[in-house]
């Protein structure tokens, strides 16, 4: 039986908790340890190794609802204390002892850290090529996909979007950037979870059967238009009324964005990412997506 995973669950697992965070004593050494162990387990790690160790401050906290959360202010990457050895907040538990859903949420938030770095260092001559590509594509796609969007009208939970009323809205640049960032984070977390499920946990190599399983999951999620993000209103008063505004299904992630993230974050080769795109379209011709580039 396949484990059921929904995008709304991923969002729930990444909701901010309220707790005092404790800094990891040797953050840079633990970051190196984490990225090495992820690589050894066959999980995406290249984008994390491109992220300067001094950029992110690792912390553990007794988060109430989240496996992890990233705070751009201070570049703080906070993990649930339960993910540390002995709940001591010093070192990570072995990756193989962390569940698929927790790993998915970790990758959702780790992506936000990398995305923050790509924006923070965008004008730096030393920005890695892949980070520069991600940032340039994000700027381009922001203009054509995330400035005018359809959103769920009113305080409706994400899982009930299809029974909701939608309204078209023009976003500020910061709101559009937030919506893009969250949509991409949702996809990265979902993709990591789906690959773990398709391979029955951690493997360093892909068998064709597992690749096909992942592509089928991807085509289904794409056709259902469930891979959507949200944004926080820029206006403080509006944010107090509705802290998060969710994008409507026709603002779900596009094939073009999927290919980009498969290559730059999830370490698929260009050939494999292109094959995934063709698989999506062959299984379900592209449904209506608001915004074209």
- pLDDT, tens digit (0-9, with 9 covering 90-100), for 84-100: 999 989 899 999 999 99
Model confidence at 42: pLDDT above 60: yes
**What are the start-end ranges of the H helices in 121-268?**
129-145, 173-198, 208-224, 236-241, 255-264
**234 backbone dihedrals φ, ψ, rounded to 5°:** -70, -30
Count of Cβ atoms closer than 10 Å to residue 133 Cβ: 15
Once rounded to an integer, what is the mean pLDDT over residues 28-56? 94
For position 272, what pLDDT does the model report?
95
On whether the CB atoms of residues 123 and 84 are closer than 8 A, the answer is no
Give the Cα separation of 53 and 56 in Å (integer): 6
Q: Which pair of structure tokens corresponds to residue 119? A: 């924006």
pLDDT at 73 over 60: yes
pLDDT at residue number 3? 39
Q: Which pLDDT value is given to residue 149?
A: 96
Q: Determine contact, residues 25/44, Cβ cutoff 8 Å.
A: no
Please tell me the predicted confidence (pLDDT) of residue 18.
45
In the chain, where are the structural domains located? 7-283
**Who wins on pLDDT, 155 or 256?**
256
19 has pLDDT over 80: no
- Portion of the chain with pLDDT greater than 90, in percent: 72
200 has pLDDT over 90: no
Q: Which residues pair with 60 in a beta bridge?
A: 22, 79
Name the band, by pLDDT with cuts 50, 70 and 90, for residue 201: low
Amino acid 9: pLDDT: 47
Write down the mean pLDDT value for the chain. Answer: 88
User: Would the pLDDT of 288 be above 70?
Assistant: no
User: Lowest mean pLDDT: which of 9-13, 96-100, 244-248, 282-286?
Assistant: 9-13
């Amino acid at each position: 039986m396949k484990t059921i995973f929904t995008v709304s669950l991923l969002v729930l697992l990444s909701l901010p908790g309220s707790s005092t965070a404790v800094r990891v004593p040797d953050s840079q050494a633990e970051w190196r340890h984490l990225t090495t162990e992820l690589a050894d387990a066959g999980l995406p790690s290249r984008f994390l190794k491109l992220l300067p160790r001094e950029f992110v401050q690792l912390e553990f906290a007794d988060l109430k609802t989240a496996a992890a959360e990233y705070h751009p202010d201070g570049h703080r990457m906070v993990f649930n204390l339960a993910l540390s050895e002995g709940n001591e907040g010093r070192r990570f538990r072995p990756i193989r002892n962390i569940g698929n859903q927790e790993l998915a949420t970790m990758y959702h938030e780790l992506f936000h850290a990398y995305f923050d770095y790509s924006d923070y260092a965008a004008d730096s001559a030393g920005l890695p090529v892949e980070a520069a590509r991600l940032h340039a594509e994000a700027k381009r796609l922001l203009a054509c996909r995330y400035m005018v969007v359809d959103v769920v009208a009113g305080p409706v939970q994400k899982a009930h979007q299809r029974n909701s009323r939608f309204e078209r809205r023009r976003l500020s640049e910061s709101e559009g950037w937030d919506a893009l960032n969250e949509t991409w984070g949702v996809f990265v977390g979902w993709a990591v979870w789906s690959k773990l499920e398709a391979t029955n946990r951690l493997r360093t190599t892909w068998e064709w059967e597992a690749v096909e399983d992942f592509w089928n999951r991807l085509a289904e999620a794409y056709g259902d238009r469930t891979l959507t993000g949200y944004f926080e209103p820029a206006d403080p008063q509006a944010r107090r009324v509705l802290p998060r505004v969710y994008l409507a299904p026709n603002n779900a992630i596009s094939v073009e964005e999927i290919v980009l993230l498969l290559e730059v974050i999830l370490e698929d080769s260009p050939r494999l990412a292109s094959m995934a795109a063709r698989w999506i379209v062959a299984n379900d011709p592209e449904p209506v997506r608001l915004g074209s580039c």
